[in-house]
């Protein structure tokens, strides 16, 4: 018997159907010579300090640094985890081969290897490595199973990352807490979270230190075109007015008129960070929420593996592209011009040298008929349109530069006009809703030497401080280790030195929010006073420098490729922790007070005539019937969500559910008829909502 271990129950079910393991057992599927079981994310974790010695149970400066002679793992304290691990352990002990079907990435490899290590697996291990969960992808993957040993370096990198985070996080958090924190506050330090916080603090200090200055500029209107004087900004209003009087005494003369045709290259395909940036800019979604939406789309088989850091496709995908495009029926009008001719093998799209574990995020050939949440629809639309846009012609533009003189003062105006929209046609409807800021008004044709009257004026402006980070700009800064880079090719080169991984950056930002080191005001992110004080008390640049942290990230990637020894990396981190401990113990600094938020006001008790069950949070989960529901940002979910997986979105089929409708659905399994439900096709329909067999909300 061959045992397949997937990372989630839903993935195990998909795999079981494809390979013929159709008999449902307790904790696994069986059939056709296979047993298919699952984890649900991390089952194991590195041991905690007190697991090594009781001395480390207490937070004392004299016990630091804590360096275990050898790192060990243990099962996470969770009844569901222990029960399911027991199933895996039993199956692995009596099988002939294990097939690792975990998430095809570093974190997925680490999860599975730790489970197999804990289960004392003695049999050969094969690896299923796929980029989507479609039936064809799974079948092809099983036809081309890899030897498990091929991914030893990936596991080594994941293990080194986890140990590095433990060494720094456990030691530095205790070190700074005992040295600087007041009362029982905890000062959390992390290998990635601390330099991320440092970027926010540095930006805030630049904003605070900025002195706004008023300035004046000379402008003039000639033939309905505004020109700006090329002289330095004027510091006094008096001088500006003198300049204005001078301009009134002379005609405007064109000294140069130049129009050059150019091209605007197609946008790149999405990696995870780029998708999170775009979703934040366009819809205000947090990085964490965007990851959640695209992960759901992946599990529904509508898009490929999302936790990627490349914007390229592997060259062997080229023959499959026409088929994927042809399957995207909801975008037929946009796609038909592409399919009228062969898809070019462009190096800006297909490049094996730029693809490691996985290619960029693209749609699969599965028609997305099961997307009900508006957020998921929007994220899918971003991915689909970007996929289509890369195969359109480049956008051709005319860039115009006009120079003129008024007396002895030179003026300049620039403009851009789209000659052939090319890939911008894909976004034509979006541009109607949100006016395209890139395209300026078409300039008239000027002739060198022409003269005429003009309308000069003085424009008063003021210098502006650096902009606060948004999630979009913070993600970009993390990706490029704090460097401000607009050019996409340059960003690709800097990714190896980025801080954090695409799959972890969202969690890092959320952790900073939870620790109350940062806060959000509208779209902007600011450090709190606690966050600022924490960074100020860290004198060691290694802890807070994005560039130096980026060096660690590069070494982890080199470990994956066999270009750096994981043991050396660990030794370097151990030495750093030892040096840091000595440095901080002997430093002097004021203590930091962690400011807690005011407690939430106590809600008044409900009136007696109102049944307690009116509140969905008082109801049992309809799927597992063991835990109460909890209210999240966008949905109600099972209190044991990681195990059960039940979720009920607030908005379904374009309608925000009322409390009564939610109650009917949870208690009766269906709602009364709801008008105006919006289907995937855009059609509106009246109907009742009900649960399917796997507790997804469907239209009855």
Q: Please list the active-site residues.
A: 305
Cα–Cα distance for residue pair 657/41, rounded to 1 Å: 30
Tell whether omega for the bond before 394 is within 30 degrees of 0, i.e. cis: no
Burial code (b: 16+ CB inside 10 Å, e: under 16) for 290-305 equals: bbbbbbbbbebbbbbb
Task: Tally Cβ neighbours within 10 Å of residue 202.
Answer: 16
Side-by-side strand order, sheet with 469-470: 469-470, 524-527, 518-521
Concatenated DSSP letters of 258-327: EEEEEEEPPPPPB-HHHHHHHHHHHH---HHHHHHHHHHHHHTTSB---------B-GGGGGGHHHHHHH
How far is it, in rounded angstroms, from Cα 195 to Cα 478? 9
Closest CA to 147 of 180, 98, 107: 98
d(CA 8, CA 109): 14
Characterize 521-554 residue by residue with b for buried, 16 or more Cβ atoms within 10 angstroms of its Cβ, and e for exposed. eeeebbbbebbbbbbebbebebbbbbebbbebbb
Q: 363 and 302 in contact (C-beta within 8 Å)?
A: yes
Q: How far apart are CA 334 and CA 243, in angstroms?
A: 53
Could you tell me if 288 and 380 are in contact, meaning their C-beta atoms sit under 8 angstroms apart? no
Residue the block writes with tokens 């996080």: 169
In angstroms, the CA 605 to CA 614 distance is 13
Token couple for 554: 């590069």
Phi, psi for 466 (deg, rounded to 5): -55, 150
Query: Strand ranges (DSSP E) for 58-183?
Result: 73-75, 97-101, 125-127, 146-147
CA 333 to centroid of chain Cα atoms: 30
């Amino acid at each position: 018997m061959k045992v397949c271990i997937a990372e989630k129950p839903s993935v195990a079910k998909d795999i079981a159907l494809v390979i013929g393991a159709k008999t449902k057992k307790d904790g696994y599927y069986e059939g056709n010579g296979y047993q298919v079981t699952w984890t649900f994310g991390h089952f194991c974790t590195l041991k905690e300090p007190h697991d090594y010695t009781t001395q480390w149970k207490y937070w004392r400066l004299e016990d630091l640094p804590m360096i275990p002679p050898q790192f060990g793992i243990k099962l996470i304290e969770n009844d569901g985890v222990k029960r399911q691990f027991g199933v895996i352990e039993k199956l692995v002990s009596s099988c002939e081969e294990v097939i690792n079907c975990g998430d095809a990435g570093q974190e997925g490899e680490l999860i599975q290897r730790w489970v197999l290590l804990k289960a004392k697996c003695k049999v050969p291990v094969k690896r299923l490595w796929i980029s989507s969960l479609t039936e064809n992808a799974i079948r092809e993957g099983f036809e081309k199973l890899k030897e498990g040993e091929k991914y030893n370096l990936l596991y080594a990198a994941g293990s080194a990352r986890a140990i590095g985070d433990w060494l720094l996080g456990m030691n530095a958090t205790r070190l700074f807490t005992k040295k600087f924190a007041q009362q029982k506050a905890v000062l959390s330090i992390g290998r990635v979270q601390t330099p991320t916080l440092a970027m926010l603090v540095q930006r805030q200090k630049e904003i605070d230190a900025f002195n706004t200055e008023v300035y004046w500029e000379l402008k003039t209107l000639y033939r309905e075109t505004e020109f700006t004087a090329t002289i330095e900004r004027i510091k006094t209003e008096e001088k500006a007015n003198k300049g204005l009087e001078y301009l009134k005494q002379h005609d405007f003369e064109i000294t140069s008129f130049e129009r050059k045709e150019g091209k605007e290259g197609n946008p790149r395909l999405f990696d995870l960070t780029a998708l999170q940036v775009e979703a934040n800019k366009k819809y205000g979604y947090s990085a964490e929420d965007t990851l959640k939406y695209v992960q759901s789309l992946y599990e529904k088989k509508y898009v490929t593996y999302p936790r990627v850091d490349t914007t390229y496709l592997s060259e062997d995908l080229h023959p499959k592209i026409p088929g994927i495009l042809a399957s995207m029926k909801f975008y037929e009008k946009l796609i038909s011009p592409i399919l009228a001719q062969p898809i070019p093998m462009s190096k800006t799209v297909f490049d094996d040298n730029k693809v490691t574990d996985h290619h960029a995020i693209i749609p699969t050939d599965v028609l997305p008929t099961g997307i009900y949440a508006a957020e998921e629809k929007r994220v899918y639309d971003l991915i689909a349109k970007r996929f289509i846009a890369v195969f359109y012609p480049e956008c051709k533009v005319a860039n115009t530069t006009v120079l003129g003189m008024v007396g002895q003062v030179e003026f300049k105006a620039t403009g851009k006009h789209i000659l052939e929209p090319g890939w911008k046609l894909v976004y034509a409807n979006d541009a109607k809703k949100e006016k395209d800021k890139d395209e300026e008004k078409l300039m008239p044709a000027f002739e060198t030497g022409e003269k005429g009257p003009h309308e000069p004026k003085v424009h008063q402006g003021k210098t502006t401080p650096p902009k606060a980070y948004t999630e979009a700009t913070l993600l970009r800064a993390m990706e490029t280790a704090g460097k401000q880079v607009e050019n996409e090719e340059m960003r690709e080169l800097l990714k190896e030195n980025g801080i954090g991984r695409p799959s972890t950056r969202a969690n890092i930002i959320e952790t900073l929010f939870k620790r109350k080191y940062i806060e959000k005001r509208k779209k902007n992110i600011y450090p709190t006073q606690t966050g600022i004080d924490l960074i100020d008390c860290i004198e060691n640049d290694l802890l807070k420098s994005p560039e130096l942290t980026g060096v660690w990230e590069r070494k982890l990637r080199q470990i994956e490729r066999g270009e750096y020894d994981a043991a050396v990396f660990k030794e370097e981190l151990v030495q750093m922790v030892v040096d840091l401990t000595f440095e901080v113990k002997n430093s002097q600094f004021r203590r930091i007070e962690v400011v807690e938020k005011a407690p939430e006001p106590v809600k008044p008790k409900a009136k007696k005539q109102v049944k307690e069950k009116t509140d969905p949070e008082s109801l049992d989960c309809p799927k597992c019937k063991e835990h109460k529901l909890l209210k999240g940002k966008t949905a109600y979910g099972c209190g044991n969500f990681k195990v059960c997986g039940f979720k009920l979105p607030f908005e379904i089929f374009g309608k925000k559910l009322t409390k009564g409708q939610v109650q009917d659905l949870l208690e009766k399994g269906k709602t009364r008829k709801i008008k105006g439900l919006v289907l995937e096709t855009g059609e509106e329909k009246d109907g009742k909502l009900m649960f399917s067999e796997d507790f997804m909300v469907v239209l009855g």
